[in-house]
Amino acid sequence: MPTGVHIRDARQQLFDAAERVLLRDGASALTSRAVTVEAGCAKGVLHRHFADFDAFLVELVQDRIARVEDQAAALRASAGTGTVAGNLAGALADLFDSIAVAIVSLVIFRDELRVRLRRTGPAHGFPVLAEAGAMIASYLADERELGRIAADADVDSLSLSLIGAGHLLFAGREGAPPDAGAVDKVVATVIADAVQRRLL
């Protein structure tokens, strides 16, 4: 493997390679060698940018968390438009793309990664899913303020239900997302009480 070739944006190239390995071969196959082979670079490139492989994985997960935070801004901007159920179904589909599901599996698979993530982020909750839950809860709180769901709706419990159900719907599908109707049905069921109580 040549070592003198300059790699533009090596960190992103390594993240992209890691995501491809995760999607194709699963969390157990994700090693520093697998990543650098997939990226087409020498193993030393990874170690020039990251202290060790677990540090690389922490930043890979943090990159995904940053995407969730971007999605959160877009979801909150949708409050008061469309339907609550439609906005939530779209958010879950965006959130649980095949890479996000693979990242969650990676965090489950690697104990040391979870430990390091807890040192750098919230001490409670499950990385990526905790941020996703906060995103949904914030959106629901905005909709509650706008009167589109019941004033006494427990947005934290609703968000946990939506994230848990969403993850179960999207996980284990080998890249094929669930039918949109299945996502719509779950969302409608979870929020039904909060929406009906608003209408009373």
Tell me the mean pLDDT in the region 133-140: 96
User: pLDDT tens for residues 42-54?
Assistant: 888 998 999 999 9
- All structural domains of the chain, each given as residue ranges with its CATH number in brackets, are 1-49 (1.10.10.60), 61-199 (1.10.357)
Nearest 10 degrees: Cα torsion 112, 65, 40, 11: -100
User: pLDDT tens for residues 147-183?
Assistant: 999 999 999 999 999 999 999 999 866 667 888 899 9
User: pLDDT tens for residues 65-76?
Assistant: 999 989 999 999
DSSP per residue, 55-96: HHHHHHHHHHHHHHHHHHHHHHHTTTSS-HHHHHHHHHHHHT
Distance between CA 165 and CA 161 in Å, rounded? 6
The band of 5, judged by pLDDT with boundaries at 50, 70 and 90, is: very low
User: pLDDT tens for residues 100-119?
Assistant: 999 999 999 998 898 888 88
pTM given for the model: 0.86
Closest CA to 150 of 196, 110, 101: 196
What SS3 state is found at 146? Answer: coil
pLDDT, position 132: 94
